[in-house]
Structure 1
């Protein structure tokens, strides 16, 4: 039994990494022993491509195990230990973002910013309406817009179809972008990771184009983008 723990860079204690069948899916075996999550569950994966990606992370470790270089493993453990037990709550958290979705709150100026928001956001709102019958109000400013319960129900139903492995990256992407609608569009293949990132950062990019960006903000942005890319990769491997 090999446990995944958030401990300071332990030494690598295994030589061979392989994938083997198990009761819960494809297991990651280190010298023949299955990797387990922090909650002691077997790290069993439902898709071959994802299992290969996780195994590659373990195989790529050097003399020490560096957890920060293992984003797929991290997400798989989160899915098994945390999301699996609370799928309904995770869906509700995503829907709560839809209730105050980024795409619905517009700037009334400057003109360039308002146009950029329309360019990136209006097609997604139109798609959500056509695909799910979910119509969302938009308005200028930050005053709360009460969305129709029927529309939120449509979004809830759209996310309810996903299991805990898919919900894990979808939830994180929603918190990173502030938009359940962008993430739903990504999940359905309407937008790629670059496109949802750009759409989620219209305001920030406009500010940067006017005033520039400081080093700390750049570092935070880079870290967030790495998280989003890891989520998108996890989802892609899960489905292939």
Structure 2
């Protein structure tokens, strides 16, 4: 199978199955495709950095060249392809999937993506605080409030806070200020990274703080999981939850790379 043939089919949906159980069983029977290339690398052509498999430019599922303006991201992509063993496992290629999404989707839907980020800020996780227990309230105030204050200074507007599940409506002025910051995020790579950082942390505020250097990636991740970590400290760690969190962290790291270097 050639590079182009594989990448044209990579990620394409299979035939619709009326029985979801049968569909799942069929998916399990479908073996992952064999690695068909010896080496992944980066080629610079016309100001872009192409991910090349055995010297040929790889392509997205929509058959666009896997070529971007960031050497750092291109080298990380090539390393991800090089880490594949006998079989190519898309589940272990979070950066490739995200860049494909950026080039095939975000590129043509920039305004819709920016609007969704602004909508997210309208019900941001950092604006909803616990009323009890005192230990959790204190943790949220200690960790979240400095981040929130930094972002408010950045955008020149204030967020409304709420306790519990009572909805806190943000002002039109605040959301407009957020929109101005979001408009400055380059598309498609950094914008795709911003969107995924936001969804994985549950917070547009954390994304803006990270994107503008107010916090680093580790601090944003820890702030996003403050409530979860508190529950772990009380009840202990669940093995399956820990595995899901580890998988999300790989997705997060890929998103951060695009946000900061894309």
Q: Same fold (TM over 0.5)?
A: yes
Over residues 65-90 of structure 1, what are the superposed CA-to-partner deviations in whole Å (9 max), with x where a residue is unaligned? 22223222222111100111111111
Matching residue of 1:226: 250
Give the 5 Å matches for 1:118-129. 118-129=141-152
- Quote the residue 1:56 is aligned against: 79
CA-CA distance at 1:116 after TM superposition: 0.5
Q: Distance in 2 between the 1:201 and 1:14 partners? A: 39
Pairwise CA distance, 1:124: 1.5
Normalised by the size of structure 1, how large is the TM-score?
A: 0.92
What residue in structure 2 maps to residue 172 of structure 1?
196
Q: Give the counterpart of 1:106 among 87, 105, 129.
A: 129
Distance 1:210 1:60, change over 3 A: closer
Question: Structure 1's 60 and 203: CA in aligned 2 closer, same or farther, altered over 3 A?
Answer: closer
How high is the TM-score relative to the length of structure 2? 0.85
Deviation at 1:212, TM superposition (A): 1.5
State the alpha-carbon separation in 2 of the partners of residues 24 and 174 from structure 1: 30
Q: Residue 73 of structure 2 contacts residue 257 of structure 2 at CA under 8 Å; is this kept in 1? A: no
Q: Specify every segment of 5 or more residues in structure 2 that has no aligned partner in the other structure, as ranges.
A: 13-30
Query: Structure 1 pair 121/143, CA: closer, same or farther in 2 (3 Å)?
Result: same
Q: Does the 8 Å contact 1:193/1:228 carry over to 2?
A: no
Aligned partner of 2:95 among 67, 72, 84: 72
Question: Residue 6 of structure 1: which of 11, 14, 26 is its match?
Answer: 11
Counterpart of 1:184?
A: 208
Q: Which residue of 2 aligns with 1:139?
A: 162
Matched residue count: 238
CA contact (8 A) 2:190 2:261 kept: no
| Contact 1:41–1:81 under 8 Å retained in 2 | yes
Per-residue CA distance 1:15-74 (angstroms, 9 max, x = gap) = 243322335721122223211100111111111111111112222332222222322222
Deviation at 1:237, TM superposition (A): 4.0
Secondary structure of the residue aligned to 2:165 is coil
Alpha-carbon offset, residue 91 of structure 1: 0.9
Contact 1:176 1:228 in 2 (8 A): yes
Distance 2:156 2:118 in 1: 15
What is the root-mean-square deviation in Å for CA atoms of aligned residues?
Answer: 1.8
Give the Cα–Cα distance (whole angstroms) in 1 for the partners of residues 36 and 225 of structure 2. Answer: 42
Q: 1:206 aligns with which of 221, 230, 242?
A: 230
1:23–1:204 distance in 2 versus 1, CA, 3 Å: same
Q: Which runs of 5+ in 1 are unaligned?
A: none
